């Protein structure tokens, strides 16, 4: 019975989250522009900079939102 009483609350919360619109950040980058330098942690824990690879090899970035999370 308790689960049924939480159902309207959960449905309302899900609808509220779905209604939010997230605007992408403003940027002056255009297709074909050189990517700005950035630093990210590697799986080994070391810091890796994009500029470490510039001119040496191609770089492919892949984003997996919420990967490796419980949600």
Query: CB under 8 Å to 37, separation ≥6 — which residues?
Result: 49, 50, 51
pTM of the model: 0.46
Give the pLDDT score at 46: 93
Indicate the domain borders of the chain. 2-52
Give the pLDDT score at 54: 85
Which of the two residues, 5 and 31, has the higher pLDDT score?
31
Express each pLDDT in 20-63 by its tens digit: 566 767 778 888 888 889 998 888 989 999 999 888 888 887 77
- Residue among 12, 7, 54 nearest 35 (CA): 54
């Amino acid at each position: 019975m308790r689960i049924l009483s939480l159902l309207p609350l959960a449905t309302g919360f899900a609808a509220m989250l779905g209604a939010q619109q997230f605007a992408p950040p403003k940027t002056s980058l255009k297709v074909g522009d050189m990517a700005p330098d950035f630093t990210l942690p590697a799986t080994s824990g070391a810091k890796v900079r994009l500029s470490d690879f510039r001119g040496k090899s191609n770089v492919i970035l892949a984003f997996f939102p919420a990967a490796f999370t419980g949600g």
